[in-house]
Structure 1
């Protein structure tokens, strides 16, 4: 035993060696050939002798039990560690590969799996992970706006849908002078709208003119007009067709506002005969009718770009006095701050005033005489000399080539006035029938002399000039269609509660 196992029998006795084998403390002499794990156990008892104390429980648990395997299986862990070392080194390679895929995907994942020797299932599972980097590549290439539209394509399609076309007008202010919200669904978030309003006395043709300017032609049936015109029965009774304020918007985003007649005798007759109760602040029906007209006119002077004043004869001085009163009682334009100047689009920077157009409807042949036309322009200029309303420089009959022989300097004071002849659709048919009895059929092809172009030609020229009117800024900010609706609702509420109108009605009563 001593010759084969130990060279110093005095130090390592047989009995002590047997006890240490039973207690798993195999310590051999320094010349004994031991494996790697046994060498670690050889130096462990020497450290215990240097400490001169027996090791405690936690030190015994720190022994490398994982490496203590049978000698027959020691080669397999070496191979497994070598093979397992490759995936450990491959993990950074896979991360670098995934990072390279985000820039230039040149190496396929199958070649990587074959070079590393890993299983295909593991590589495929790891290849499914870079879905987030692919999403980031799409965001980086397409941009945030393109990603939002790609996520929700209906947003882009809704912008391409044409706006809904209106066929008939709806109420903006009902006959009780209450605000209506039904027009909100036809409005959009765009700022290129033009607001055109109309005022005039009863029976002057306001609704007919607004329908022809908005969506209809003279050849159509009047029962299908955008604004309801006065029926024959209503004309015989002397009543009014329009009540309150009617709203209509075209595909060109032009807002037309038709109103009830100003200073209407039929509304006054309806108040008197039907024993309708007046509001407590009004004592007389006539005062109530006049204040209604002033409220509507002052409202249009605040929220419209263009206001058309329709009359069927020249001229009523009470109408000009009414316009000046409505201008005086017009609510002030709200501003962003007290020191804002030039924000409302007016000359003094504090108040907004619209363009006003005087439309002479149902004009006679004598009214188209250049001398009479010049006199009418001079009279209107004298009556509106002290007004802040923009009554010059927007509409011109000389620019329409209606009077080819007249120069641009014929009228020194040209106001916004336009003449419309009588609407007579059957006149050409009557001329044809009358001309068929003539001896010379050539004269039947020539139209009769009227002194002015046809009604269709005149209304088309008026429409082109109205749509080309300058669109000034109504308030201190640029309004969209929806913002204009809320702005108009606030102005209407302020008009009904205006202290200036209340004081004026008290002076009248």
Structure 2
């Protein structure tokens, strides 16, 4: 991953610049000196003449269009004025601002600007996430004193401002900034990856429920998240959507149709800040220039805007932001199809991705959280007809606020002075009326800082992030922003773009000041949220060995917070448990093995690899537990070998250890029973301390494994909740069946339907949760595998052979391991976990509780009674 570096349009290859100019500038302007990248005529003269030509010839030429601005964007930049950013604007208004960096699942880094409280009250209120529109960033919510961000802050909300990938401060990418792979995303990825990461981060940092206010594109990605990952409906309290750009079948603005001509040329520059400075400087040049800029905004808005001059300049100082061509193409596809569908890759790729020739429509009926929608009858981009179409497909629309009898266009929601009365006050009213737990507003500290780093620390992170150099910080990086303009910090590659973050600051800073700042940040870490920085595990650690829960050093990696997820895994020998768990922990690094996996020697000698209970804690506070194989033949061989070597009249001193369990020949009636009961104790332990238990097998179906799981459920002893309260409670986790190394035939509708029927019938009377709303047959993984074709979905995932699909002659019959693994991981991470006990357990308390559970299982009489039963049946 790399931050977009500062550059000018000269960095573009000459042929690329020439192609851009021919596509974006009027034809006769390309042949004139007005649109050249060099020469004596400046970019401002070029823009002025083109604007004048298009605005003063009346009917002879088309009205002002986006082509004017886009021509300006690709001319050489000569501006040196200071750009306007959201955090600067907020600080100028007297607010304390934090910048939080959030890593997405697919490798992007997003910047969230946070104002946790108002200027007059240090109490942190309910969180509100503001989502901006296309071509813009978070500044659109802070253009003037009546803007939405200020109103929410002053009303006591904890305001978070989102910057989409590639825009504003969110410019850290997986590849080079002009590499096509860096821009291989549409608003679909913004919804399922970006917004999901932001909601999780805000929920972990401030409160459980997050309110969302989305404008245009922001409304689009909010609906995508809630429909594609319905578990997030539980994390979002209220969504207020202003002109959600979901379907634009009835546009009245020429802006939409002209997108078809320009979508191949984004991102438009390696240095968007310099371009935006140029635009602002041009608009400030004269009254005539400002009038031309206002004409352009009126054209985009569809109606004349009443924006103040300062608001016009502020808006054009951040508009347009870079955007991917795929995002624009996705919007154009929706415009042409008149529907809200996933990205259309073409017939061949659609069949691979969606198992259909056409992209599937987003299932908006899966959205269950409260939704408010704001629209305008004079909006020429998202019309009232489009909003009515959207409302007819949503199940939980609380109210639609239709703005009538007022000239109120698409930009008016965020920039027009009348928006204060028509939109802002309405949003405040709805958020306040649905605000939950008002009396709990003061439970959070005034400033929440989970991790703070100096610029040098951030440089080190940027250079080592994808080389396994994770030393500290269990949360995404947060850079603490002060109100002093001389001590602001940004990510390293942006720091040499803006003078406020230049090397001059580093050179003038004395060592004593740096030490003082470091001490202040250290104190902030210890205070905020009751959390301190904990080290990050680089590999798994032994949890249970030789029949005892050891956990040496594990407590050093645990905290006192109680927002975590425990995932356990069990299965027979050689089915791929450890490989699957390593992929869940670290899906992007194929070389790094969190858990030790079988090697060639293990396969040749038919021996098992995992011999102990191993625990790994990820930086996202997810606990992964890998266990020894169940009913392992190699373990049986060791046990028989030990029995053969035992001297006569021995009282059972010789022992064999199965993972964490201690097998003593004198404890059970036979070696076979000893092996089975030890495996049952392993299963009972996972069923007692995990939120999710993965049952991995590499063929369908093994009746012995199903019988074994039913027996483990029966023998699992109820656990006392605390040492003082000996009330017994029965807890049952989510159980997910994973068929690993699947073949082509396993992805047919008949096969999936058969699998689900067998599991449903086998666990008809079981209390294990096998229907948790996730699985391959839910219609969200593969379009043709749904409840209509396969029956009611259960927690079943079918994953292909990781090594087999690397062959070129291998026919998948599915989108591939990486795609299915990503879907599997998202569903597991987003599952609705159930409390292990009546009282919430912190991470450290969970460890002590696990020790208590393990002791109770080892001493339980149920297993000895079962041994006697087995001996009678032999």
* TM tier relative to shorter chain: 0.5 to 0.7
Conserved 8 A contact 1:196-1:256: yes
Change (3 A) 1:295 1:468: same
TM-score of the two chains, using structure 2 as the length reference? 0.36
Structure 2 gaps, min length 5: 1-444, 447-515, 646-653, 656-663
In structure 2, the residue matched to 1:354 is: 733
**CA positional deviation for 1:279:** 4.5
Aligned mate of 2:829, from 436, 443, 467: 467
Cα distance in 1 between the residues matched to 2:854 and 2:821: 31
Question: Does 2:682 match 1:314?
Answer: no
Cα distance in 2 between the residues matched to 1:472 and 1:248: 21
Question: Does 2:573 match 1:179?
Answer: no
Question: Does 2:534 match 1:163?
Answer: yes
Aligned mate of 1:251, from 591, 612, 619: 619
Question: Does 2:794 match 1:415?
Answer: yes
Aligned mate of 2:838, from 465, 476, 482: 476
Conserved 8 A contact 1:305-1:471: yes
Conserved 8 A contact 1:402-1:452: no
Cα distance in 2 between the residues matched to 1:405 and 1:316: 26
Aligned mate of 1:189, from 530, 546, 560: 560
Question: Does 2:753 match 1:374?
Answer: yes
**CA positional deviation for 1:399:** 4.0
Larger RCO (alpha carbons 8 Å, 6+ apart): 1
Question: Does 2:646 match 1:270?
Answer: no
In structure 1, the residue matched to 2:597 is: 229
Q: Choose 1 or 2 for highest CA Rg.
A: 1
Cα distance in 1 between the residues matched to 2:539 and 2:785: 40
TM-score of the two chains, using structure 1 as the length reference? 0.61
Conserved 8 A contact 1:177-1:244: no
**CA positional deviation for 1:161:** 5.6
Q: Deviations over 1:302-324 (max 9, x none)?
A: 11100000000001101111001
Change (3 A) 1:242 1:407: closer
Cα distance in 1 between the residues matched to 2:781 and 2:773: 17
Question: Does 2:720 match 1:334?
Answer: yes
Conserved 8 A contact 2:772-2:831: no
**CA positional deviation for 1:244:** 2.5
Aligned mate of 2:743, from 357, 364, 373: 364
In structure 1, the residue matched to 2:238 is: none
Cα distance in 2 between the residues matched to 1:407 and 1:202: 32
Cα distance in 1 between the residues matched to 2:843 and 2:675: 31
Q: Deviations over 1:203-228 (max 9, x none)?
A: 000000001001243x622xx30000
Cα distance in 1 between the residues matched to 2:718 and 2:524: 40
Conserved 8 A contact 1:402-1:453: no
Cα distance in 2 between the residues matched to 1:407 and 1:320: 24
In structure 2, the residue matched to 1:488 is: 850
In structure 1, the residue matched to 2:490 is: none
Helix, strand or coil: the match of 1:300? helix
Question: Does 2:670 match 1:284?
Answer: yes
Cα distance in 1 between the residues matched to 2:805 and 2:692: 32
Aligned mate of 1:298, from 671, 684, 691: 684
Q: Deviations over 1:477-500 (max 9, x none)?
A: 100000000000000001000011
Of the structure 1 ranges 377-386 and 330-339, higher mean CA displacement relative to structure 2 is found in 330-339
Cα distance in 2 between the residues matched to 1:409 and 1:161: 49
In structure 2, the residue matched to 1:507 is: 869
Question: Does 2:762 match 1:391?
Answer: no
Cα distance in 2 between the residues matched to 1:502 and 1:236: 35
Conserved 8 A contact 1:361-1:422: yes
In structure 1, the residue matched to 2:409 is: none
**CA positional deviation for 1:469:** 1.0
**CA positional deviation for 1:425:** 7.0
In proportion to residue count, which structure has more strand?
2
Helix, strand or coil: the match of 1:452? coil
Cα distance in 2 between the residues matched to 1:358 and 1:166: 27
Helix, strand or coil: the match of 1:255? strand
In structure 2, the residue matched to 1:58 is: none
Helix, strand or coil: the match of 2:693? strand
Give 1:32-51 correspondences, 5 Å limit.
none
Cα distance in 1 between the residues matched to 2:835 and 2:634: 36
Change (3 A) 1:202 1:449: closer
Cα distance in 1 between the residues matched to 2:703 and 2:721: 34
Give 1:126-141 correspondences, 5 Å limit.
none
Conserved 8 A contact 1:378-1:413: no
In structure 2, the residue matched to 1:46 is: none
Conserved 8 A contact 1:216-1:226: no
**CA positional deviation for 1:243:** 1.2
Aligned mate of 2:815, from 453, 462, 471: 453
Conserved 8 A contact 2:668-2:864: no
Cα distance in 2 between the residues matched to 1:188 and 1:236: 42
Cα distance in 2 between the residues matched to 1:215 and 1:201: 23
In structure 2, the residue matched to 1:59 is: none
Helix, strand or coil: the match of 2:789? coil
**CA positional deviation for 1:385:** 0.7
Conserved 8 A contact 2:613-2:626: yes
**CA positional deviation for 1:400:** 5.8
In structure 2, the residue matched to 1:404 is: 783
Cα distance in 2 between the residues matched to 1:450 and 1:490: 46
Conserved 8 A contact 1:216-1:225: no
Helix, strand or coil: the match of 1:157? helix
Change (3 A) 1:498 1:227: same
Cα distance in 2 between the residues matched to 1:395 and 1:254: 18
Helix, strand or coil: the match of 2:736? strand
Change (3 A) 1:171 1:338: closer
Helix, strand or coil: the match of 2:790? coil
Helix, strand or coil: the match of 2:638? helix
Cα distance in 1 between the residues matched to 2:773 and 2:565: 14
Change (3 A) 1:406 1:332: closer
